[in-house]
Chain A
């Protein structure tokens, strides 16, 4: 089994030969859907070969221009957001939303503060 880390979270998948995943796992890991045309999202489809019911999810992700990194054992993979995706998310000036825990572990979501001015700052103890 392998772990895939994405912006949406982490999931466990049965990977072979790198990150060849079942079509279902590929869809879960990438958020794209397999159709006859290829891997699709909204109006966009990217042709991808399917072999024995599996797709090379890492190759697909790289094809999108997004970063893929993994540990040496091939047990942990990151399918990261690409530069364009990051820039597009900021381009309209809508503050990217996020949910993070406070000290008590209670999740707090930025967008819950709509209607208030927010001074968002980062700091570090190190």
Chain B
């Protein structure tokens, strides 16, 4: 069974077009609080975990065949060199082949000792960042209800690395924009909620250590 979790703090409607286009027959779930990422110590998307029939993790979070080749993209043309395209495709193909082998023949599941060694280590700083993120998502949802609040949200949860961190920072900056610009952000939900409302005030208490991107 595939369980595809959309780490989508803006809500289900932002994930809907992708899920509908995929025509998925498996579970496609919406995770506005990034709860799965918190529970499994994930720091990026995509990530995948293999779980056996008994409910045990047999491969902890990993990149699921994705690579960093996008970093080598020619920004002017939006293209990747053929060798990078090949390498990216090869990584994805190898990973998906491994998933199939695991499902059909049990291969590539890790022994418990190896799986344990590969578990992510969640630090107090990461736990703190998770809490900041939770607060930010909640306050943004409240802001869509009624209270005109004034505002400023620091990128509190940016301790996490790479994609997730970038996304969290983006949430923060969007929240900090004046309403007129927010309503032009392309988010229908924001548009509805901010037509009659003003800025959102989130003065989240920040432990400066949580700003350290390392």
A86-111 vs B, Cβ < 8 Å mask (1 yes, 0 no): 11011101111010111101001011
Q: Are A69 and B205 in contact (CB under 8 A)?
A: yes
Q: How large is the interface on B (under 10, 10 to 19, 20 to 34, 35 or more residues)?
A: 35 or more
Q: Are B46 and A114 in contact (CB under 8 A)?
A: no
Chain B positions within 8 Å of A65 at CB level: 124
User: B8 on the interface (CB 8 Å rule)?
Assistant: yes
Q: Are B131 and A103 in contact (CB under 8 A)?
A: no
Q: Are B103 and A120 in contact (CB under 8 A)?
A: no
User: B119 on the interface (CB 8 Å rule)?
Assistant: yes
Chain A positions within 8 Å of B15 at CB level: 103, 125
Q: Are A82 and B28 in contact (CB under 8 A)?
A: no
User: B135 on the interface (CB 8 Å rule)?
Assistant: yes
A75-88 vs B, Cβ < 8 Å mask (1 yes, 0 no): 01010111100110
Q: Are A95 and B167 in contact (CB under 8 A)?
A: no
Q: Are A114 and B54 in contact (CB under 8 A)?
A: yes
Q: Are B5 and A70 in contact (CB under 8 A)?
A: no
Q: Are B4 and A121 in contact (CB under 8 A)?
A: yes
Once A103-B16, A103-B28 are accepted as A-B contacts, the answer to whether A96 and B40 lie under 8 Å apart by CB is yes
Bound CA span A78–B135, Å: 6
Q: Are B39 and A121 in contact (CB under 8 A)?
A: no
Q: Are B6 and A80 in contact (CB under 8 A)?
A: no
Chain A positions within 8 Å of B116 at CB level: 91, 93
Bound CA span A15–B64, Å: 45
Chain B positions within 8 Å of A122 at CB level: 4-7, 31, 36-37, 42, 45-48
User: B90 on the interface (CB 8 Å rule)?
Assistant: no
Bound CA span A110–B6, Å: 15
- A124 nearest CB across to chain B (Å): 5
Q: Are B56 and A94 in contact (CB under 8 A)?
A: yes
B145-188 vs A, Cβ < 8 Å mask (1 yes, 0 no): 00000000000100000010001001000000000000000000
Q: Which residue of B lies closest to A104 (CB)?
A: B12
Q: Which residue of A lies closest to B163 (CB)?
A: A124
Q: Are B40 and A90 in contact (CB under 8 A)?
A: yes
Q: Which residue of A lies closest to B19 (CB)?
A: A103
Q: A68-B131, A100-B35, A122-B6 are in contact. List 10 more A-B contacts (CB 8 A).
A: A73-B203, A76-B135, A83-B126, A83-B127, A90-B57, A100-B36, A108-B3, A122-B46, A123-B18, A125-B6
Q: Can you list 17 A-B contacts with CB-CB less than 8 angstroms, sorted by A residue number?
A: A3-B138, A66-B127, A68-B131, A72-B203, A78-B132, A82-B124, A90-B57, A93-B58, A108-B27, A117-B50, A117-B51, A117-B52, A120-B3, A122-B4, A123-B4, A123-B45, A124-B45
Q: B residues touching A (Cβ–Cβ < 8 Å)?
A: 1-8, 12, 14-20, 27-31, 35-42, 45-58, 60, 64, 99, 102-103, 112, 115-116, 119-124, 126-128, 130-132, 134-135, 138-139, 142, 156, 163, 167, 170, 201-205
